[in-house]
Structure 1
Amino acid sequence: MSEPLKVELDTRQVDELLRGLPPSAMQAAWRRTLRKISTWVKSQVAKLIAKDTKVPQKVLRQRLYFFLRSRDSGKVWLGLNPLQANRLGTPRQTRRGITVGKHRFAGAWTMAQRAPTGPVFQRTGKARYPIVEVKLEWDDPGEAAFQKVAAQVEARLLVVLRQEVNYELQKALGRIGSHGTR
């Protein structure tokens, strides 16, 4: 596993946008921007990985988390551990093994009586034992997708921040217009 991916942004443009607002409005705009960017990152990463691995986006989104680390910074976490085969969809037994979603696992089976939608197993050798649970490796496409989206974060952040600052400005102007002199 490679070292953690860290994205640093040039905040001079951000400071210029926020200069005309009171501190509470600036903070509100920034927090909304962070939340919206996290949602955007999660959806973009899930789309790219799903396209490469044929894993449902729903499963991938469960592996993506966003944390507000402080009042002005956030962190997106992507869990790259192998996915259990039965999490990709409903396992179906075929003559040659198990089919789950768009993936086929030759020589695999489920415990049909105990847990028909449970774990999928496969023998590791010619003998009856040992057996292992079938898992899908997806860390390489996951890291590649995450890095591709990380390269686009700064541009997207500025677009969303402009929208949020504009919202705060319109809100402030609306208050002035409705509470002004009559």
Structure 2
Amino acid sequence: MSIGSFYKTSASSGMITIQPSSADIQALTDFAKVVPKAAAAAQRRAINKTLGWLRTHIARAVGKQQGVAMWAVRQRLRSFPVKGNTGRGKLWFGINPLEAARTGRARQTQSGVSVGRRRYQGAFYKRVYGGNADIWIRTASKHFSASDYPASDVSSGGGPSSGWIAENGDRFPLAKAMVQLDDVRPLFEEWTRRADQRLLEILKQELNFELQKFLRGNARG
């Protein structure tokens, strides 16, 4: 019968012997039987926690890089937690152009519209289509420049939903202010690598949690 680790000393030295006790051996044997289930639970929690961590940090990084409010970026991020025995979770990020009005709090000024660090001279903030107001500028305005409105939806004639707006009885073609997100593509490689490292850290914690939970239950038994 094993009594566990022990030590012996003599006049000139000391010796420590490390070995599991009979109870520890039995506990490890019992734990080995539930390892597959415990490991799967640990893996599921680790992946889902990493998804939450990744969503927060990507939103922060993209917001800082693009000058977009973090809450606006989070609306473009969608988590798909682990389900069943798939062993994988996913984080979707929409990188289509984002309406400038959704990047922060838009403010109408005498000279135009400001939102975050962006300024749109000669523009106006108004609900034209749908339920939300957007930042628009008349394409005939002296302040309009296509280079200042990348990925903008420039309206054209042809009907009530063609992008035209009636003002003072006349019709004016408009361009909607948009923000491109193509520059965030390099972040995917960086944050995928960081997420892989983070997953390993959390997985170790979760496996340890499963082990400690089992040992506490075994001690009570």
Q: Aligning the two structures, in what range does the TM-score lie when normalised by the shorter sequence? A: 0.7 to 0.9
Task: Tell me the TM-score normalised to structure 1 length.
Answer: 0.77
Residue 217 of structure 2 corresponds to 175
Counterparts of 1:128-143 in structure 2 under 5 Å? 129-140=172-183, 142-143=184-185
Deviations 1:19-55 (A, max 9, x none): 9552221111011011111111111211211111111
Residue 122 of structure 2 corresponds to 107
Distance (Å, rounded) in 2 between the aligned partners of 1:42 and 1:89 = 19
Q: Which amino acid aligns with 1:78?
A: F
Distance (Å, rounded) in 2 between the aligned partners of 1:119 and 1:62 = 17
Q: 2:199 aligns with which of 157, 161, 164?
A: 157
Q: Is 1:78 aligned to residue 93 of structure 2?
A: yes
Runs of 5+ in structure 2 lacking a partner?
1-30, 143-170
Residue 16 of structure 1 corresponds to none
Larger CA Rg, structure 1 vs 2: 2
Deviations 1:102-159 (A, max 9, x none): 22112210238x99x711111234596320221111221x212222111222221111
Q: CA RMSD in A?
A: 2.6
Task: Tell me the TM-score normalised to structure 2 length.
Answer: 0.64
Distance (Å, rounded) in 2 between the aligned partners of 1:68 and 1:90 = 31
Larger relative CO (CA 8 A, sep 6+): 1 or 2? 1
Runs of 5+ in structure 1 lacking a partner?
1-18
SS at match of 1:81: coil
Counterparts of 1:23-172 in structure 2 under 5 Å? 23-68=36-81, 70=83, 71=85, 72-111=87-126, 118-126=133-141, 129-140=172-183, 142-172=184-214
Q: Percent of counterpart pairs with the same letter? A: 34
Q: Which amino acid aligns with 1:150?
A: T
Q: Greater helix share, 1 or 2?
A: 1
